[in-house]
Structure 1
């Protein structure tokens, strides 16, 4: 299998001062994009997914468990659905939502949410019928997808083939992303009634889940089909950088955790685009409307850690140019969709612990309309480099890639994770305890299990490094 990789270096530019009506001016005047921004809804709590009904009613999910309606400029107080058995902890709760391609005939809407059962955290996908502004007649299509406080997915999208595609995270058990007997770290493909398509790649594999379309994923949170080519694109969160944009192939192995960042191995697919430092890519969509002709056929990505929108200009599968829009203007951006009017609609994800402080006014839904007023702000251009660097597998590098996002690059901790300096290991400060914690994780605390993902020798080296650095 021949794979292609582009290594992307992001040169962040500071000092942006956008206002509610602002200009993004590119180097080429014919591709300039100018926005006016309308605030549609405020005081929300992590609106995870926006979607539109054929009558232009907006629906969106809030992670604590509500599906809300916005119609004719009004946010309805009464939710269309309140999920009662929701499990909303840090990254979990009510997540993806999509309407059926034949909604006008069947009124079906699909949602994904986490739930607890037998002291475990799971994910399920449920089909509802939309009637009288309510979601009724739930039918579970798939459940007992392993979940965790981190890396639980889950984006839903219907393909041109009328099949339902579902992204799942590795649930803090990285090695299971390579295991076809589990749902961890996969993209799944179902018929609209939850049955398994006869042409799925592992349909004849007796030891694999037949729902699997691709595997070896860490935490894919964006799924979108390119209109011209019908190819499926996915965005994925990497370990301390190494975020990805992938073109998804039937039966493809995307390598996690065996390879990541710029690494490559036979039989595993490296990303089309890779981002270090992290941009936290969430929902993605191809722009195929008329309100912004400059964005036609561009891949648009909502960025969480990057607090921005990523614009990727494409030409027949080739990346021409990339730009960062709305940099640090509205905080973390979770959902981005194209409305029936051709405008862009985004949701913020600022009440999004532990990455953010959860300060009021919580979260918003914003509408981006064309503007023809030119200010002096410019877009941030991303440079690309086709060279692939070799990653040195030192203990310091392993710590940086696998541990630093939570524990800090020098074990100093973060706002949500305590410092390890001075040998303050709360779950055992001797080497054997640290090896056990690295190997098996502390899943209920959000610490992944790295057993099998890295060798026992490297786990030992990593433990030695942590002990040594903690007492410097």
Structure 2
């Protein structure tokens, strides 16, 4: 294995730090850990993105379609804006939010959300002006991006070049990630008014979307520019494990669905690190505050499934050290930002159907990490040895749901993106050997990934039996 590719294991990531509960109440960090956690706001519904206004107020989206504000450390009860046409299915809704680099002068903000058009879910990015706590003068930057209840992206970040970078998921249609005519599975780059920058990599390609900066992504939910170098890093959800941290190159192909996990292929970029089992990486940031000098320049990663913050050290564009903080204390972590005070602010995401389970009385929350007055910030070093790898235990039905159901349907009835297998109508062979071959090797030209890097041969055999049995049942 190359030195710049590190396999993080179930044991090393998920077994290091236990939760600290005081008398069964809301978990709090202990003073000797080097930090303490303040509750900034609670009883929220998936605060998806946090940004700070020049007056240090906090603006944030709730996935149910609200834009809200925290002023003078107090949550304003009434939302400043409601997306009346937002569509809520599983993990869709109001998503990314960012300020224009010249916000102090022009008051412009950018908001991503899901909506319905011709009964199909879409994603759009709209620019507004924030005037007297109201969003006015909408300008559509990009719209009609195919979306789904999963794999929508969508993080918004302005780069040091003052261009807007937008992440999009594959919308549960893997083939779209490789399709340069589609917006999906991409990082897009546009001018602040939605125009096309003349130096985009495909601007002279008449068969490609000219907004594309990189492609071959599955579900990227974090992007951040490294100070000084200006390099762009990205976090991405893998298919079942195989979560990635990538260094993004102009025009780069990041492989999905052709490669994933430890696969390699000429002309495709491999991740700096992949995580199996999944940690669910969400927003990322390079810490540049003054409160935690030991974190200066570190790449911090919010983890949903991992329920932690990862602290990654980078040297010469390679990850050299990995630490984990606040493991299993506050639940799934969605947004992660540095405040103007140098403290670290993060949001929980426990109201996530199928994965998050709200806890009574507190979820969801926006929290603040600040020093406790001690000299040590608690973190634990992660093992980087592959010999400790231990595959997470899944039922065959669970593997089917993760790998197959989004395209072929929960009952193999088919979906708009892929055919069903009712009554054993298989295009590539209906015997077990053929089905095993299809699962193992994939049918990548049709958008089906090869799953041999995600699950072992025993699980592939069980999955083939499961599909055969399910396809022969009377529907």
TM norm structure 2: 0.83
- Residues 399 and 463 in structure 2, CA contact (< 8 A), matched pair in contact too: no
Contact preservation (8 Å) 1:94, 1:113: yes
- 2:63 and 2:317 map into 1 onto residues whose CA distance is 34
User: What residue in structure 2 maps to residue 371 of structure 1?
Assistant: 372
CA contact (8 A) 1:411 1:469 kept: no
Which SS does the other structure have where 1:356 is aligned? coil
Residue 392 of structure 1 aligns with which residue? none
| C-alpha distance 368-359 of structure 1, shift in aligned 2 (>3 A) | closer
- Work out the CA distance in 1 between the residues paired with 2:321 and 2:175: 34
Task: Tell me, yes or no, if the aligned pair for 2:240 and 2:402 is still in contact at 8 Å.
Answer: no
For residues 149-298 of structure 1, the aligned pairs below 5 Å read 149-298=149-298
Matched, 1:61 2:55: no
1:382, 1:288 → 2: CA distance? Answer: 23
Q: Deviations over 1:342-361 (max 9, x none)?
A: 00000000011121234543
Aligned to 1:410: 396
For 1:43, what is the secondary structure of its paired residue? coil
Structure 2: distance between partners of 1:173 and 1:24: 47
How far apart are 1:88 and its partner, in Å? 1.4
CA RMSD of aligned residues (A): 3.3
Aligned partners of 2:141 and 2:451: how far apart in 1? 42
> Partner residue of 1:432?
425
- Whether the 8 Å contact between 1:173 and 1:450 is mirrored in structure 2 is no
Report the 3-state secondary structure (helix = DSSP H, G, I; strand = E; otherwise coil) of the residue aligned with 1:430.
helix
The aligned residue for residue 7 of structure 2 is 8
| Aligned partner of residue 177 in structure 1, secondary structure | helix
Matched, 1:354 2:348: no
Comparing 283-292 with 3-12, greater Cα deviation is found at: 3-12
Q: Residues of 1 paired with 2:39 and 2:449: CA distance?
A: 50
What is the SS of the residue equivalent to 1:175? helix
- Find the residue that maps to 1:383 and give its secondary structure: coil
Structure 1 residues 286-337: Cα deviation after superposition (integer angstroms, max 9, x where no partner): 0011110000000001000001111112234232311111111010000000
TM-score where L is the length of structure 1: 0.83
Partner of 1:452: 446
Counterpart CA distance in 1 for 2:399 and 2:327 is 26
Measure, in 1, the Cα distance between the counterparts of 2:199 and 2:313.
32
Alpha-carbon distance, 1:175 to partner: 1.2
- C-alpha spacing 1:451/1:64, structure 2 compared with 1 (3 Å): farther
Would the alpha carbon gap of residues 254 and 78 (structure 1) be closer, same or farther in structure 2, given more than 3 Å must change?
Answer: same
**Cα drift, residue 454 of structure 1:** 3.5
CA contact (8 A) 1:431 1:463 kept: no
- 8 Å Cα contact 2:216/2:255 also seen in 1: yes
SS of equivalent residue, structure 2 residue 104 = helix
- The corresponding residue for 1:439 is none
| Worse overlay, 13-22 or 184-193 | 13-22
Shift of 1:417: 12
User: Secondary structure at 1:270's aligned position in 2?
Assistant: coil
Name the counterpart of 1:77. 77
